[in-house]
Each structure stands twice: as structure tokens, then as C-alpha cells.
Amino acid sequence: MLDIIAFLVQEYRDFAACPEPEHLAQKLSAVGFEDEEIDDALDWLAELAADDASPIVFAESTATRMFSASECEHLPVDTQGFIHFLDTAGALTNLQREQLIDRLMALPSDDLDLDAVRLATLAVLWRHAADIDILVADELMVAIDGQPPLQ
């Protein structure tokens, strides 16, 4: 499923430019993705697109975000650390951070490596048409390009 997310982020520079799910499913199938993988990705993206229901208190909060017990159990420590890095670097708004955590919680824990977190972060930022700091963008693009950023 994450391969589809990577494909879409590269193929459509604008989230709004993605075709409707039926047409997108046909295109993904024509490219060679499996039907089950396409269904999972479209469901994941539908939740991403619909997730604007976070309380406004998140947008205005300056409090440090603590992970809940269920989040700590599901999200590996390196994933939690990467989210903290993105948060402290100002790469995500509070609402985007919450959306990222929600979308990561929707993935099977076996799939949660740093590349999955990078792809999910790219998807959240892509969905919001967010401007990304070049150094953060380089770090996130490792999931697609496979090239580590220059040090």
C-alpha cells in the first residue's frame, strides 16, 4: 500500500489533482498494483482526505505532545522520535501531526519503519499542499528516492 502512496505523491504534485477513486483505481491497476493493495490505499487516502475533524484546540496548543499508551504500544520508538523531530523542527502543524499519527495508527505495526513514516508524512503534507523546508523535504524523500540526504 505504501508503494501506491509513493507513486501518487510523485505522479500528482497536487492532492486535489488526483482522479476520483474509481478512475484512480483503474489507473493504479493498469500500472500494475494489486487490487487489494489499491483498495487499502484508497481507503487510507479517503480517511486522510476526510480527517479535518481535529479539535481547534490542537491548532492553538503550544503544549508538548505526549503519546498515549496505545500509540506507544503501536508506534515503534524510532517512529515516535521521528514524529518528535518533525514537530520540533516545525515541519508539521499540530493538526498535520495529529493527522499523521492517526494515519500511522491505521497501518499494521509490522509496516511501521522510518520509510513508512516518511511516506505518511509526505502524504499528509501533500494533502495539505504544505510548503516543506528543503532539508526536511530531503529527509522525507529518502522513502521514495532511497538516497540519504547529503550530510
pLDDT, residue 140, reads: 75
Residues 97 and 71: beta-carbon distance below 8 Å:
no
Q: What is the Cα–Cα distance from 73 to 95, expressed in whole angstroms?
A: 22
Spatial distance between the Cα atoms of 140 and 115, rounded to a whole number of angstroms: 8
Q: What percent of the chain has pLDDT over 70?
A: 83
**What is the residue-wise DSSP string for 69-108?**
HHHHHHS-HHHHHHHHHHHHTT-S-HHHHHHHHHHHHTS-
89-139, pLDDT tens digit by residue? 888 988 899 999 999 999 998 889 998 999 999 889 888 877 776 767 777
Looking at residue 57, its pLDDT comes to 56
Helices (H), the chain: 2-11, 21-31, 35-50, 56-60, 69-74, 77-88, 94-105, 114-127, 134-145
